[in-house]
Structure 1
Amino acid sequence: MTAPAADSATLSVTTHRFGRLTFDRSQCVLFADGLPGFSSCRAFVLLPTAVDALVWLQSLDHPDLALLLLTPDAIEDGRAAIPETLRRDGILSLVVVTLPGQYRPGATVNLKAPIVVDRAAGTGRQIILPDSPFGVAHPFALEALVTRGLKS
């Protein structure tokens, strides 16, 4: 990340996926403990996509790390997976998407450990729900979601 001037509210970072990004410092989301598996990544920015229910969580510490996140309300079982205590005004609950690949024929979402962002405070945390009946690889129809999202 480029160090901002003392009086600047603008930051910029060059990422592998998105190239050079410039954004307001207030858009940063700080994860005090990082994310599980990425403890050294603490500063992120949320980037919109063409589909309202999807956003990218781009690391500002490691330009090659960007996680695709989904609003859980966009999929069946998603709303039920997020406890009511995490559904407060100003709190954004999101789940990590794993894209299809060589060893995984379809997209999945992690409903067991949502990412929670307090937009006003600029902080975030991934919360592991040990008693959740939902798993870390819950299948969902990514293509249908994208098609629906692009039409609206």
Structure 2
Amino acid sequence: MSAGSGVTHSEFNHSGTEGVHFLQIWVVPAEKNSPPGYQQVSVSEADKRGNLRLIISPEGENGALRVRQDIRIYAGLFQGDEQQTITLPDDRYAYIHVARGSVRVNGLQFNAGDGARVRDEKTLSFSHGEGAEVLLFDLRPNEVNHPTR
């Protein structure tokens, strides 16, 4: 959802008997007062299995949701031998969030709920997952130097 020039939004668990686990991620748009919008996509487990699948990007390429900001978000599932290495462009940094399970990133152990801001690394290698559900944010280098217009 892009709130843009104004949207009322509420998020809650509709079930009275089952728990819910979700992340609410806010991305500041590149320009103020853009038109509101809503998108939704389902990505199969197979597309994320042992793979960081692009789910959000500025251009919406490869079926990703389009966002009005210089950010790319990937989702992946890792178990056992599954591994992937991703190369970051020179002028970028990353944020890693492990939503479930555990995984190693460049040899460091991450567990459910762990996150890390990554700078000065050209590659990120995800491996040794145990029921791992991972989000990787590819971000521009300094938000302070890129205020919303």
Common fold by TM > 0.5: no
Higher helix share: 1
Higher strand share: 2
Q: Which has the higher contact order (CA 8 A, sep 6+)?
A: 2
- TM-score normalized by structure 1? 0.25
